[in-house]
Amino acid sequence: MAEKLDLNTASTVRLRGIKGLGPSRAEEIVRYRGKHGPFTSIDDLKRVPHVGDMPPQEFEKVKQQFVIPSSGGDQKPHKVNVNRANAVQLRQVPGIGASHAEAIVAYRREHGDIHDLNEIDELPYFRDQSTLERQNIKKSLEV
């Protein structure tokens, strides 16, 4: 059996090699990852335009081609300081894509440091996310 691809690092070229994806779906996966940050679950593929609407059996076969390597063991996850991180560092947090990272940086420029992580709930792009999604993002951040 072929080696599974890392959903968070696979290039468009590698993604196109998966039966059922093709060029446009491969592009959508990379675009989604760039906008929303790394995938935290293979099931997140459901949210990718033109991938999530695949026929269920075909979608399940595609999902089986991927892996999301864990950071390993019982290590405490590294938290990103929301006040010191730049946009590139913020994008590394699962669930924070380019738009979210830029919104945080812009907020800090305008208002100064964030003193409570709940402040980000009111930022553009975050308001549109579910409470659970925002909680998961905040678990990876610190002030």
Cβ–Cβ < 8 Å for 136, 40:
yes
pLDDT score at 111: 93
pLDDT tens column, 27-75? 999 988 888 888 888 888 999 999 989 999 999 999 999 988 765 444 4
Cβ–Cβ < 8 Å for 47, 26:
no
pLDDT score at 82: 93
Confirm whether 5-67 and 80-142 share one CATH topology: yes
Average pLDDT, stretch 10-31?
90
CA distance 21 to 54: 10
Cβ–Cβ < 8 Å for 7, 68:
yes
The three-state (H, E, C) secondary structure of 42-107, written as one string: HHHHHHCCCCCCCCHHHHHHHHCCEECCCCCCCCCCCCEECCCCCHHHHHCCCCCCHHHHHHHHHH
Q: Which neighbouring-strand residues pair with 5?
A: 66
Give domain 80-142's CATH architecture.
Orthogonal Bundle (1.10)
What pTM, to 2 d.p., does this model score? 0.53
Q: Indicate the fold that domain 5-67 takes in CATH.
A: DNA polymerase; domain 1 (1.10.150)
Cα-flanking dihedrals φ and ψ of residue 74, to 5°? -100, 20
Q: Residue 110's CB: how many other CB atoms inside 10 A?
A: 7
Domain boundaries, the chain: 5-67, 80-142
